[in-house]
Amino acid sequence: MRRRIGDGGQNLSARVALVTGASRGIGAAIALTLAEAGAAVAVNYRERAGDADAVVAAIKANGGRAIAIGADVSQAAAVTNMVEQVASALGPIDILVNNAGLAIVRGVDDLTEDDFDRTITVNLKSAFLCTQAVLPAMRARKWGRIVNISSGAARGAGAIGVHYNASKAGMEGLTRGYAARLVKEGITVNAVAPSLIETDMMGGRTDLARNIPLGRMGRAEEVAQAVAMVLGNSYMTG
């Protein structure tokens, strides 16, 4: 029996979700959570095919539908091809979670132009490309949910660098801009902004938990719960 999430017990069993950067960490947790709620899930990855296949296998073992799909979501042609493949295999995309991200730890004096460009391209441009690619199908059905995984670094110093701050602040601006323009078409756009989640991206920096009132790092599953809450709320946008 599929778990219901959100307001009024919404069920995602008729929905197709694409989660970018979903082979591990927060993305994998989100993919698994959406599958538990009944959605068919496309698990996007760039390099870690084996990890993505493991997420798909876990979903299928629980009776769900899922595919793993390799694509560099910072490249327009790759995104277009990915969205077409998902539609062919699972159906038109109803839910997009822009989770793919890059975290190059750099100090102000060590940051290079290449570091900055790569971070903006992977963290911010990818969200734009994927959103643009899924909008036609969402508009046709007058229903869509887009969730961008931001970070507390959008508003604070963060632990990665100013380039990462800029990419996540840009993502939140993108979120508000799309939300205002798409809400009348039945499409909500929101951002979930966790801080200090215990994933590979943090490189084992559990010492940073001293800055958190609760005294521990967050878990990927807790971020996934927040995403599920947003998906189940048809009023919340921007």
User: How big is the chain by its Cα radius of gyration, in Å?
Assistant: 17
Q: Can you tell me which residue has the tokens 């599958």?
A: 35
d(CA 161, CA 119): 10
d(CA 110, CA 96): 34
Known active-site residue 164: yes
Q: Provide φ and ψ at 17, rounded to 5°.
A: -120, 140
Torsion of CA 101, 6, 140, 193, to 10 degrees: -20
Who contacts 63 (Cβ-Cβ below 8 Å, separation ≥6)? Answer: none
Active-site residue among 45, 164, 178, 235? 164
Annotated catalytic residues are 164
